[in-house]
Amino acid sequence: MSIILKLSPLFIAMAAAIGVSAQAAEHSSQEGFIEGSSLKLDTRNYYMNRNRQQQTDDNIEWGQSFIGIFESGYTQGTVGFGLDANAMLGLKLDGGGGTDGSTILPVSDGNGKAPGSFSSGGGTLKMRALDTELKAGDLFLNNPVIAGQTRLLPQTFRGISLTNHSFDGWLLEGGQASFTKLYNQSGRQRIDTAYGKLADGDESRHLNWVGVAWSGFPGLTSSLYAAELKDIWNQYYYDLDYSYALNELVTLNPGLHFYHTQDTGDALLGDIDNNTYSLHFTLGVGHHSLTAAYQRVNGNTPFNYINQGSIYLDNSQQYSDFNGPNERSWKLKYAYDFAGLGLPGLTSALSYSRGTLDLSKVDPNSRGYASFYNADGENAKHWERDIDLKYVVQGGKAKDLAVDLQWASNRGGNGYGALGTDTDEYRVIVDYPLNIF
């Protein structure tokens, strides 16, 4: 049974909210199609160097992108209409001749060289009735079950989405996406998964999702989402996060994230029965913070998500998500805001994560995950160090210019090599957003 049918009461409630909103007033205070419009241009310079220790060639790519996003206002009236559009261009500054493959630029052709440029464009029709918004077209999505990442260019999805804010402190949303534009590609393709190999000719036709998020109590947030990647999985998500100030200096922040994934329909990736959760506790003292996190994957398949997507787990790091079959991991993270030394805009973070997996329990005949099986991987291990230093210009003509330096080092053993090679990864990212109007 489709997950959308299972969760139809929530869709009915959202549809009812549209009706209530439309009948609540004879006209809306919408600002107008032209008057409420905006045009933003983001220029991004991105360098990535992946030094794979067991290979002779590093993956080194460097690019420059220009991302233009136009958002109209809404026509006036009880129901308002609008139009959004985007245009993206990525240029290769370096990469190829055996050094490609860092995911910044498109997958190269047979000669090992990425193309000199890649681009895309899209549009979105939208409609709003007071607190309810409907969009159809190319979407920038960011929720626990379908969230696009950004490298040189952002990932987008083609489909429809519905959001409602009629109730104070609540967000209701749902939708369906059938295609995605990956962050290092020009064209669109069906949505697939980050892990697991589909058989030739197999694909999922669409992803449905529905969710509710609540922030009605100071410092407390919670959300519940469900999604169906057709003929692959049903996925459910819950989180709870609370931030409490003991005094003006000390804050406490406990929280949890939980995913359950179950195969559905034709089960194109085979049997999936996976419960994955993470717990964190952050102690903040002035401009310092220290976080301890624990994460667990209960299942003989990895915790899987959409290709190039983001996940809401505490131990999802720069290089590894610590989401392998039967993986248990922990993390310690220290962060400092240099505003405490009179340098607002400069922030830093240092973390160490360590995980243990059991790859021997993976089904060697699994339709999608057999490659994870390793008879000698009962006690596979890996660890990762991450350092992040970021500065955002606070004022003047260069206001909001951001420079982000990232470094990660991941090492494995006891059979972990079946999942990947030891890697050092360096990133230098420079963003300069401009509000044209």
Q: How far apart are CA 206 and CA 190, in angstroms?
A: 7
CA distance 33 to 84: 11
C-beta of residue 436 within 8 angstroms of C-beta of residue 40: yes
Q: Which three-class secondary structure state does DSSP give residue 3?
A: helix
| First CA to last CA distance, the chain | 47
What is the rounded CA–CA span in Å between residue 359 and residue 342? 49
pLDDT string in tens for the chain (437-residue length): 444 444 444 444 444 444 444 444 334 445 799 999 999 999 999 999 988 776 666 788 999 999 999 999 999 999 999 999 999 999 999 886 667 778 899 976 666 678 899 999 999 999 999 899 999 999 999 999 999 999 999 999 999 999 999 999 999 999 999 999 999 999 999 999 999 889 989 999 999 999 999 998 999 999 999 999 999 999 999 999 999 999 999 999 999 999 999 999 999 999 999 999 999 999 999 999 999 999 999 999 999 999 999 999 999 999 999 999 999 999 999 999 999 999 999 999 999 999 999 999 999 999 999 999 999 999 999 999 999 999 999 999 999 999 999 999 999 998 887 677 799 999 999 999 999 99
d(CA 196, CA 366): 9
Output the CA–CA distances (angstroms, integers) from residue 102 to 149, 151, 317, in the order listed. 15, 10, 16
Distance, in Å, from the CA atom of 269 to the CA atom of 305, rounded to the nearest integer, reads 12
Q: Are 66 and 95 in contact (CB under 8 A)?
A: no
* Neighbour count for residue 216 (Cβ, 10 Å): 11
pLDDT per residue over 122-160, tens digit each?
Answer: 999 999 998 999 999 999 999 999 999 999 999 999 999
Task: Give the pLDDT confidence score for residue 335 in this predicted structure.
Answer: 98
pLDDT in tens, 396-434: 999 999 999 999 999 999 888 767 779 999 999 999 999
Interatomic CA distance for residues 212 and 225, integer angstroms: 6
Query: Can you give the pLDDT at residue 435?
Result: 95
pLDDT at 54: 65
User: For 13, phi and psi rounded to 5 degrees?
Assistant: -65, -40
Distance CA 122, CA 106 (A): 19
Domain 3-435 architecture? Beta Barrel (2.40)
What is the predicted pLDDT for the residue at 408?
A: 97
Rounded to two decimals, the pTM is 0.91
Of the candidates 331, 256, 317, 323, the residue with the CA atom closest to the CA atom of residue 296: 323
The beta-strand segments (E) located in 192-264 are 207-217, 220-229, 233-242, 244-245, 250-263
In the prediction, which pLDDT does 103 show? 86
Q: Which amino acid is at 26?
A: E
- Give the largest CA-CA distance in the chain: 69
pLDDT value of position 52:
78
Please report, for the chain, the start and end positions of each structural domain, with discontinuous segments joined by +. Answer: 3-435
